[in-house]
Amino acid sequence: MPICAGVVRLLAAPVAVIALAGAAPAHAQPPPPSWSTAAAAGVARQELYPEVLDGRIYVAGGLLSPNTGYSAHFESYDPAADRWTRLATLPQARHHIALAAQGGLIYGVGGFSGGFPNWQAQADVYVYDPATDRWRSSVPLPEPRAEGVVAVAQERLYVVGGRVRASAAASHFNAHTDTARVEVFDPRTARWERLADAPSARNSAASAVIDGKLYVVGGRQALPQPDGSLRQVNLATLEVFDPASGAWTTRAPLPQAQGGLAAAAHRGKLYVFGGEQWTPAQKVFADSWVYDPAADRWAPVPPLPTARHGLGAATLGDRIHVFGGGLQVGGNAATNVHEVLVLGPP
């Protein structure tokens, strides 16, 4: 959706000699984060919610350009070969479908069908088995939902926020409403359970799991206006869910409100990238940030080389891969660019 030289002690009687040539001092700092490029994804698309399983990145569906098109394309990225491989297509084309890995399988949860503006949230949950390269249907969501976040903790799938249909027949972008709803799916019992709502209703947020807790950040709210239009207002809010206690806490907000952003965890910290803004002025962000839970503090990291929103982010080792997205505000100008934030050792 990343890596000091040791000190060699040579014994020579009657004294020990320390060979330091080429060794880094014990206090040396790792190199600062930097960007590199990797193989472009197989399809230019946006509104991606990727997942990592067994050292590979998986990404499914997405909006195409123009945004009346959307995809069933499913592919994986192998970092060793720097190559994307096309896999079995989704049973149905979707955009904003969220992936989550559990038990050696990939779950594809919810998402929209239809090209803009004829979007309709769906309740389908599909399961992909890498061993057979096949999809099957699983227990659907209790309510159709898209643009929420999905994450795995304690071997269960948590679905937070997003957009739900305002009526059963809703089939237009404006006929959906933001939700704070939280549900959890246990693959062992094949049952969904409703939990207490999140503090904020929002869509197009990003999430990652750190130390067993779910971090949900950014996104936006689509606020109905008297003329029937929607005013898209970004959020900077960071909320953390602890599955052990079932409690939410609110932490330091993003320095800048970004919707349609991507997030990934690395060594106990939360990294977020890009996004877009509709009001007060339309803008696509390159801004990227890192959050330290221990200090409850955000700091900037080098911005994306290519500003975009609706992008995917995924961590492999000491690298965070950031790919796809839209180069302009809205559903057009999809890209398959693939950039990598290279991070040093702790």
User: pLDDT of 142-176, one tens digit each?
Assistant: 999 999 999 999 999 999 999 999 999 999 999 99
Residues β-bridged to residue 44:
none
Q: What distance in Å separates the CA atoms of residue 308 and residue 311, rounded to the nearest whole number?
A: 7
pLDDT at 59 over 80: yes
Q: How far apart are CA 31 and CA 150, in angstroms?
A: 32
On the question of pLDDT at 6 being above 80, the answer is no
Separation of first and last alpha carbons in the chain: 23
Q: What is the pLDDT of residue 346?
A: 55
pLDDT band of 139, cuts 50, 70, 90: very high
Indicate whether 226 pLDDT > 60. Answer: yes
- Across the range 86-115, mean pLDDT stands at 98
By percentage, how much of the chain surpasses pLDDT 90? 88
pLDDT at position 2, please?
A: 43
- Does the structure show a pLDDT above 70 at 298? yes
- For 218: left if phi > 0, alpha if psi spans -120 to 50, otherwise beta; the answer is left
CA separation (Å) from 189 to 32, 109, 118, 185, 246?
A: 45, 17, 35, 8, 19
Which residue spans within 79-219 are E strands per DSSP?
83-86, 98-102, 105-109, 112-113, 120-121, 125-129, 134-137, 149-153, 156-160, 163-165, 176-178, 182-186, 191-195, 206-210, 213-217
CA distances from 50 to 82, 191, 312, 328, 333 (A): 17, 23, 6, 21, 20
**Tokens, residue 27:** 């206090």
Whether 84 and 39 have beta carbons less than 8 Å apart is answered as yes
User: Which band of pLDDT confidence, cut at 50, 70 and 90, is reported for residue 30?
Assistant: confident
Q: Is the pLDDT of residue 96 over 50?
A: yes
Confidence of residue 192 (pLDDT cuts 50, 70, 90): very high
Establish how many alpha carbons lie within 13 A of residue 244's alpha carbon, considering only the half-sphere containing its beta carbon. 3
Up-side HSE of residue 138: CA atoms within 13 Å toward CB? Answer: 24
Token reading at 256? 């800048």
CATH of region 34-342: 2.120.10.80
Residue 265 structure tokens: 């965890």
What was the pLDDT predicted at 344? 78
Cα 266–chain centre separation = 13
pTM: 0.91
The secondary structure element, H or E, covering residue 220 is strand 220-224
pLDDT band at 65 (very low <50, low <70, confident <90, very high): very high
244 near 228, Cβ under 8 Å?
no
Kindly report the number of other CB atoms within 10 A of residue 29's CB atom: 9
- Residue 4 CA to residue 293 CA, distance in Å, equals 26
The region that residue 80 occupies, defined by phi over 0 for left and psi between -120 and 50 for alpha, beta otherwise, is alpha
Q: Which two tokens stand for residue 82?
A: 């720097």
> What does the pLDDT average to over 338-344?
95
Residue 25 has what pLDDT?
A: 55
pLDDT of 272 higher than 50: yes
User: Rounded to whole angstroms, how far apart are CA atoms 239 and 186?
Assistant: 23
pLDDT, residue 228, reads: 82
In the numeric block, the tokens 């249909």 are attached to: 165
Enumerate the domain spans of the chain: 34-342
Express as a percent the part of the chain with pLDDT over 70: 91
Q: What is the mean pLDDT of the chain?
A: 92
Q: Please report which confidence band the pLDDT of residue 7 belongs to, taking 50, 70 and 90 as the band edges.
A: very low
Residue 199 pLDDT class (50, 70, 90 cuts): very high
